[in-house]
Every structure is written in C-alpha cells, then in structure tokens.
Amino acid sequence: MQLVLEKRAERSSTIALVSPLIAIGLTLVTMSILFAMLGKNPISALAVYFIHPLVDSYSLQEIAVKATPLVMIAIGLSLCYLANAWNIGAEGQFLIGAVAGSWLAVKTNGTEAGPWVLPAMLLLGAIGGALYALIPAICKVRFGASEILTSLMLVYVADLLLDYLVRGPWRDPKGFNFPTTAEFDPVATVPVLIEGGRLHLGGVIALIVVLAGAVLLGKTIKGFEIRVVGAAPRAARFGGFNSNQLILLTFAISGALAGMAGIIEVAGPVGHLQPGISPGYGFTAIIVAFLGRLNPVGILIAGLFLALTFIGGEQAQIAMKIPLDVTKVFQGILLFFVLACDSLILYRFKLIFASPKVSRGAH
C-alpha cells in the first residue's frame, strides 16, 4: 500500500475553502497535546481560549477591537503577497503610522484645534506607513535587495524611533517620567461607537477596507494585474503589466493600511503614544492573510479568529496560569498548518493498493 500525492488537473475550490478549517482542526489537536503536556486539562483550556470570550459582551467588543488592526494590515499584506512581493515589515509600518499621526496630536495638544485633527492624523498615519513601506520596495526595484530582509529590519528601526520619541522630545511633562505622550485631546481621539463601550470607529473603517479590497481584486484591472504578476510573472510581462510598478504600488497600499491601523490603535483604544502599542499585530497579520486565503472576506473571518486567540490567551493566563507566550506558539503552529494544507488545493492524497508486488529484480 502506498500513499501518494497526486496533482489535480485544476485547483480545487472546495479544498481552497476547507483547507483553513482543516488547518484549524489540526492546530487544536496539537494544542490539546501541548496543554496536556503542561499538565492542564485540554478541554477546559480550549474552552477558556475559544468559548469563554464569545459569551460576554466585553470580550466580544474586545475581539472586534483587536481584529481591526489585524484585518486592515492583512488586507494590505494580501495584495503584496498576491503580487509576489514579500512585505514582512508591516509591524514597522504600523509603528511609523502611529508616530506620524501622533505628531499632529502632540503638536495640537491643549490647543483650540477643531475636528479636522483626527482625519488629518489618519491621513498622516497612512502617508507615514506608505513612505516607510516604500523604502524596502524601492531598494528591491532599484537594487534588487531582498524586500524580506529590508522590510523586516526596518521594524526594529521603527520600534527604536518610537521609543526615542516618547522618552525624549514627546514625553508628557506631567507624566511622572513614564515613556508616554500626554493623553490625546478628544478631537484627536477615535470615537467609540457605543457609549461606555470599547468598539470604535476603526472597526467601521476596517469593514470599508475589506470591501474596497474585495472590489479591487475581484473587479478591477489593477487587481487583475496584481494577481497575474504574482501567479505568472512572464505572462504578466506579456500582458504589458509592469511588475516593478506593482511592487511599489502594493507596498505603498499595504504600508498605508498598516500605518492607518497604527494611528487608529493609538488614537483609539490606547489614547496616547507609548512603547508596546502593538502585541505584534504586524506579524500576526501575516498569519491572518494566509489563513484568510489572501481573500478579503476570508481575511475578515481569519482576523476575528486570531483576535479571539489574543483574548483567549489573556483569559487563559488569568484563569489557568497558562503563559501568554502559548498564544504565539498557537499562532505559529496555525501558520504552519495553513501553509501545509494549501498543498491539498493543487494535490490530493491517494492510497494505492499496489496489485503487482514490487520485487527486487528477477534474481
């Protein structure tokens, strides 16, 4: 009996939909084993992770709040990945967006500035993120530098820049020397949707981004160019599409979205600029993009699921003393299974019950 991987004639659209679910299933099995090895009851641990956050309103809102940056960043990343441009530095673009938008909030702090401040901050965040993403993109196009390395390394540059600003020039004078800016004015804050709740306007923006991404990829010639350049570069050149231009474009869009997510996070749930504004949104969004099959609607669902793991992880830490790092382990295992299950879209497993016994030659 033989187990073989057989190529399909055409990619299976059923498996394309089911493969993320298989990946989630395999991840849950692996996590159960991990919990058991930590000496925890797997069933109750999984319940704390995945069921408890879904049953109270605070956690539900918190999931949406956490999903907002994940979805926005992942939509941008999916454009890059579809075009075969590997932006790994969304975390850095997120931070630079937060810094760029916060600049205006800090400058207008305590002044009579009107309601134009927040839109201007969002715009600055998007521009900052886009410009920052263009650095690796230009290096790639002009010099052939690997965008994977440059975009990743720029994450740490952004991290240190933010750290410097909040410890130095932008530090709140009345902040007891804590590394943070002053609390943003109301006009520089993203409004909440329900009085007293956590859900804010950023959630609506994320939904608009999902919709825009779906239209761009599904209906426009630009979206088609992005997909062809990634899927068949030579055919794209034959079609007259300029791959360098598309690398710049997709990096700029994804940087803008990450940057806007960054300033929304700072001007929304956090309320001021400080180190550690991101629990790794820019990296987790890579998982979200692939778990969502690089498809906008899929990314929305995947973003909510990954947000659930963040909230569940926090609750598991409180309720069961499971280390918070287990959440990162979980996300890593998930990405691994997602990529592995993707091979099932183009291939299928087949059991062969060999009829002629394989003998070792005629002797």
Q: Which residues of this protein are in contact with other proteins, per CB under 8 A?
A: 6, 9-11, 219-222, 224, 227-228, 231-232, 234-240, 355-356, 358-362
For other proteins, the closer CB: 147 or 225:
225
Smallest separation (angstroms) from other proteins to the CB of 220: 5
Cα separation, 127 vs 113, in Å, equals 21
**CB distance 282 to 170 below 8 Å:** no
For other proteins, the closer CB: 37 or 354:
354
Q: What angle do CA 231, 219, 76 make, to 5 degrees?
A: 60
Cα separation, 154 vs 133, in Å, equals 9
For other proteins, the closer CB: 8 or 107:
8
Smallest separation (angstroms) from other proteins to the CB of 77: 21
For other proteins, the closer CB: 192 or 228:
228
Distances (CA, A) of 145 to 86, 132, 141, 155, 346: 12, 16, 8, 16, 31
For residue 267, the surrounding DSSP H or E stretch is none
For other proteins, the closer CB: 9 or 55:
9
**CB distance 198 to 60 below 8 Å:** no
Smallest separation (angstroms) from other proteins to the CB of 217: 11
Cα separation, 143 vs 193, in Å, equals 46
Smallest separation (angstroms) from other proteins to the CB of 18: 19
DSSP 8-state code for residue 192: B
Smallest separation (angstroms) from other proteins to the CB of 252: 17
Smallest separation (angstroms) from other proteins to the CB of 123: 23
Backbone angles phi, psi at 7, to 5 degrees: -75, 135
Smallest separation (angstroms) from other proteins to the CB of 249: 13
For other proteins, the closer CB: 336 or 347:
347
For other proteins, the closer CB: 14 or 355:
355
Beta carbons within 8 Å of 357's beta carbon, 6+ residues apart: none
Residue with tokens 């030659």: 361
Q: In the Cβ-directed half-sphere of 157, how many Cα atoms lie within 13 Å?
A: 14
